[in-house]
Structure 1
Amino acid sequence: MDNIDTAILDCLKKNGRVTASEISKKVKLSIPAVAERIRKLEQNSIIQKYTIKLDRRQTGQKLLAFIFVNIDKTEHINAFRSQITVLPGVLECHHLAGAYDYLLKVSVSDTDALESFLTNKLKKSPASAVLIPLLLWQR
Structure 2
Amino acid sequence: MDHIDEKILTILKKNGKASATEISKVVGLSIPAVAERIRKMEHGGIIEGYCAKISRRRTGYNVTAFIMVNMERSGDVEEFREKIIQFPQVLECHHVVGAFDYLLKVLVKTPDDLEQFLMEELNEIPTVSSSQTFMCLSTLKEEWNV
Query: TM-score with structure 2 length normalisation?
Result: 0.91
Secondary structure, counterpart of 2:51 in structure 1: coil
Question: Counterpart of 2:144?
Answer: none
Question: Counterpart of 2:5?
Answer: 5
User: Separation in 2 of the partners of 1:98 and 1:35?
Assistant: 44
Deviation string, structure 1 residues 63-111 (Cα, Å, up to 9, x no partner): 0000000011355223312211120211000100111000000001111
Q: How many residues were matched structurally?
A: 139
Question: Counterpart of 1:20?
Answer: 20
Question: Counterpart of 1:35?
Answer: 35
User: Separation in 1 of the partners of 2:100 and 2:28?
Assistant: 48
Q: Any stretches of 5+ residues in structure 1 without a counterpart?
A: none
User: Separation in 2 of the partners of 1:19 and 1:50?
Assistant: 13
Please provide the CA RMSD for this pair: 1.1
* Amino acid in structure 2 at the alignment position of 1:77: V
Question: Counterpart of 1:129?
Answer: 129
User: Separation in 2 of the partners of 1:98 and 1:40?
Assistant: 39
User: Separation in 1 of the partners of 2:74 and 2:19?
Assistant: 47
Question: Counterpart of 2:142?
Answer: none
Secondary structure, counterpart of 2:124 in structure 1: coil
Question: Counterpart of 1:104?
Answer: 104
Question: Counterpart of 1:120?
Answer: 120
Identity of aligned residues (%): 50
User: Separation in 2 of the partners of 1:86 and 1:49?
Assistant: 21
Question: Counterpart of 2:51?
Answer: 51
Change (3 A) 1:41 1:74: farther
* Amino acid in structure 2 at the alignment position of 1:72: E
Question: Counterpart of 1:90?
Answer: 90
User: Separation in 2 of the partners of 1:9 and 1:54?
Assistant: 20
User: Separation in 2 of the partners of 1:5 and 1:23?
Assistant: 11
CA drift of 1:37 comes to 0.3
Secondary structure, counterpart of 1:123 in structure 2: helix
Question: Counterpart of 1:138?
Answer: 138
Deviation string, structure 1 residues 20-48 (Cα, Å, up to 9, x no partner): 11100000000110000000001110111
